[in-house]
Amino acid sequence: MSIQISGGSKEESFQILLDRQSALDIGAFVVDGVDLSPGTAIPSDGDRRIDHALQGFFFTCGPDHIRHPEPIEGRDDGQTFPLHGSLCGTPVGQTQMSAPGEPPGCTAQTDVVLANGGTARFSRQWSVNADTAEVTLFDRVTNIGDRPFAPMLMYHMNIGGWLAGNETQIGGTMFGDEKRPWRFGEGDRGLFCLPAAPGAEDGWAQVTLGPFEALAGRSLVVRFSTDTLAFLQVWRCQIGAANVIGIEPVSHRLAKRTELAAAGEMPMLEPGGTIEYALAFQIR
């Protein structure tokens, strides 16, 4: 069963449906009757957790891994980190809606068993600014296990590609004055990852995808804290029945875990330690 949070004005309203079966990610983001999520128009990697998550507007990779499977450090039995990490597909443990009179929102707490045998507590808070209709997310990862692990996180924000038109572009603080066409790359797919801190204001980067004709010329605007989300990854796939664009604030650059570790970019989170992530988005 999902949780619905509404916002906006009577003329310009939106609803987000939070998925209890996947760490309180967003299954649908409906703006003036238009759902931005791609639904079944996604590529499949053969993992049902990820196939389900990709159909929604927002899902979370981590907290121990963020991309395709790689060997678990310190093991020689061939075991790998799961696709996109251990959190996806983990049901929420506890949820609480905001009290009457407070801005609309919901908090959640989920304990997740990590691939290395440890345990992390994922504390999540969604809220909606009544004045700006901006949706804000704060996440805290706490190592409640008995061994350290290297925290990694990536937020997938997936948009149906059919909503994009010839005027739709990607812009942001990390691009300077440049704007990129949404059909970047070659052929029917594309991917890039670049530092987000350059150009960030007060530690927050911003990326815009739009305009969308179906949203009366408005765009999706995403902001995120570069303290722990230091990179922006963007991908698209229009292969066969797939038609999706992904905006992905991410903690680490696009590289193998061994390369990141050798460069000192995989610091460990000791038992009892915490790390926080923050993101916000709106249609404007």
pLDDT (tens digit per residue) in 12-45 = 789 999 998 889 999 999 999 999 999 999 999 8
First and final CA of the chain: distance in angstroms? 29
Q: What is the pLDDT of residue 283?
A: 96
Instruction: Supply the pTM of this predicted model.
Output: 0.95
Looking up tokens 């916002």 gives 7
Mean per-residue pLDDT, 102-119: 94
The predicted-structure confidence for 212-230, as pLDDT tens digits, reads as follows 999 999 999 999 999 999 9
| Neighbour count for residue 38 (Cβ, 10 Å) | 23
For residue 11, pLDDT beyond 70: no
- The H or E element containing residue 53 is helix 48-54
CATH number, span 2-160+217-283: 2.70.98.10
Q: Which of 45, 281, 272 is nearest to 141 (CA)?
A: 272
The reported pLDDT for the residue numbered 16 is: 95
The domain spans of the chain are 2-160+217-283
Query: ∠ at Cα 85 (84, 86), nearest 5°?
Result: 140
Q: For residues 94-122, give the mean pLDDT.
A: 93
In eight-state DSSP terms, residue 215 is G
For the chain, how many helices (H) and strands (E)?
2, 18
Pairing type for strands 189-195 and 119-128 reads unpaired
Peptide bond into 148 cis (omega under 30): no
- Tokens standing for residue 132: 């700006």
Q: Chain-wide mean pLDDT for the chain?
A: 95
> Which pLDDT score is estimated for 103?
84
Q: What number is the average pLDDT over the span 182-207?
A: 95
